[in-house]
């Protein structure tokens, strides 16, 4: 059974740690991010984290119910950093595009943490703020609720999926990553047109593009489709109810 987390007002240490710092949830999360960057997820243990903080490992359980709770807090930190690096302009598509890139960049800044947290739902304030912001943009632009949720679902999953994919490449050792990247010129570019005509014809283009993330291109494709859907709804005069409302009026079901 997970240990009960002490309320924030009661859990501040009365004395500094051996390193002269006063523990806080934010300090623990920042230290955990550093440990993940240096040692990967296998190196993130209560004992190692306590040692890095100059505190007894049991002290961590005054702030988090366990390492899984800490994992959610790390994901929350990455979402918060994305929000803090971004500012809305008032145009829904431009704002979603910029926010998507900000989320992707925030996770890629900490590849090991991205691999650990991209598939998690934290339920914490900054993550909730991101979700509220995205849905607010979509509903404010005129998407019906069902359409807004559909676009939101695709948008956030796309950002996190590419964050995990691209973080996976960054998390491997430099030598292995370089060998993977070189494969497009050392192997694919040397395939014979007689046996692999399509790869041979596009070998240089593949080499130029395949080591870059496809996320910006796919994000634009998603937003293009969303924009076209919204335009279609507006042209049919379906209003806030979106396409579902139109189908109801046409079929009576």
Domains of the chain by residue range: 1-65, 76-171+213-251
Alpha helices in the chain (DSSP H): 8-11, 25-39, 46-53, 67-84, 92-108, 111-117, 125-141, 145-171, 174-186, 197-201, 203-209, 215-235, 242-251
User: So what's the pLDDT on residue 186?
Assistant: 96
The answer to whether 107 touches 163, Cβ cutoff 8 Å, is yes
In terms of pLDDT, which residue wins out, 59 or 13? 59
| 187 vs 1: which has the higher pLDDT | 187
Question: Using one digit for the tens of pLDDT, what is the confidence trace for 106-119?
Answer: 999 999 999 999 99
Measure the CA–CA gap between 207 and 5, rounded to whole angstroms: 51
Average pLDDT over residues 53-79: 93
**DSSP code for 16:** -
* Of 91, 87, 98, residue with least CA distance to 230: 91
Alpha-carbon gap, residue 82 to 160, rounded angstroms: 12
pLDDT (mean) for 11-18:
54
5 vs 224, residue with greater confidence: 224
Residue holding tokens 């679902």?
Answer: 153
In angstroms, the CA 159 to CA 102 distance is 9
Q: What DSSP state is assigned to residue 85?
A: T
The arithmetic mean of pLDDT across residues 166-175, rounded, is 94
Question: What CATH homologous superfamily does 76-171+213-251 map to?
Answer: Tetracycline Repressor, domain 2 (1.10.357.10)
Q: Whole-prediction pTM value?
A: 0.84
pLDDT band at 217 (very low <50, low <70, confident <90, very high): very high
pLDDT at 85 over 70: yes
Contact of 164 with 215, CB cutoff 8 Å = no
pLDDT value of position 248: 38
Which pLDDT belongs to residue 249? 38
Task: Give the confidence band of 237 by pLDDT, cuts at 50, 70, 90.
Answer: confident
Q: Contact at 8 Å (CB) between 72 and 48? A: no
* pLDDT for residue 41: 87
Residue 243 in this model has a pLDDT that exceeds 80 = no
Homologous superfamily assigned to 1-65: Homeodomain-like (1.10.10.60)
Q: What is the mean pLDDT of residues 156-164?
A: 98
97 secondary structure, DSSP code = H
State the pLDDT confidence band at 18, using cuts at 50, 70 and 90.
low
Average of per-residue pLDDT across 30-45: 91
* Domains 1-65 and 76-171+213-251 fall in the same CATH topology: no
> Residue 8 pLDDT more than 90?
no
Q: How confident is the model at residue 22 (pLDDT cuts 50, 70, 90)?
A: confident
Contacts of 229 (CB under 8 A, 6+ apart): 143, 147, 151, 243
pLDDT(4) > 60: no
Please give the average per-residue pLDDT across 83-91, as a whole number: 95
């Amino acid at each position: 059974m997970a240990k009960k987390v002490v309320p924030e007002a009661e859990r501040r240490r009365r004395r500094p740690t051996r390193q002269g710092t006063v523990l806080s949830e934010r300090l623990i999360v920042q230290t955990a991010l550093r440990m993940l960057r240096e040692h990967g997820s296998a190196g993130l243990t209560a004992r190692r984290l306590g040692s890095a903080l100059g505190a007894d490992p049991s002290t961590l359980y005054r702030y988090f119910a366990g390492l899984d709770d800490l994992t959610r807090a790390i994901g929350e930190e990455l979402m918060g950093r994305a929000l803090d690096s971004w500012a809305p302009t008032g145009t829904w598509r431009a704002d979603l595009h910029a926010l998507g890139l900000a989320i992707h960049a925030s996770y890629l800044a900490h590849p090991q943490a991205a691999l650990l947290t991209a598939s998690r739902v934290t339920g914490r304030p900054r993550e909730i703020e991101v979700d509220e912001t995205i849905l607010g943009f979509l509903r404010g632009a005129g998407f019906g609720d069902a359409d807004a949720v559909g676009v939101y679902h695709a948008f956030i999953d796309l950002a996190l999926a590419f964050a995990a994919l691209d973080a996976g490449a960054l998390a491997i050792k430099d030598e292995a990553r370089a060998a993977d990247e070189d494969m497009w010129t050392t192997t694919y570019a040397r395939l014979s047109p007689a046996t692999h005509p399509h790869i041979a014809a596009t070998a240089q283009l593949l080499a130029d593009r395949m080591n870059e993330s496809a996320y910006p291109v796919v994000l634009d494709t998603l937003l293009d489709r969303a924009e076209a859907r919204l335009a279609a709804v507006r042209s049919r005069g379906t209003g806030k109810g979106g396409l579902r409302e139109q189908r109801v009026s046409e079929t009576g079901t």
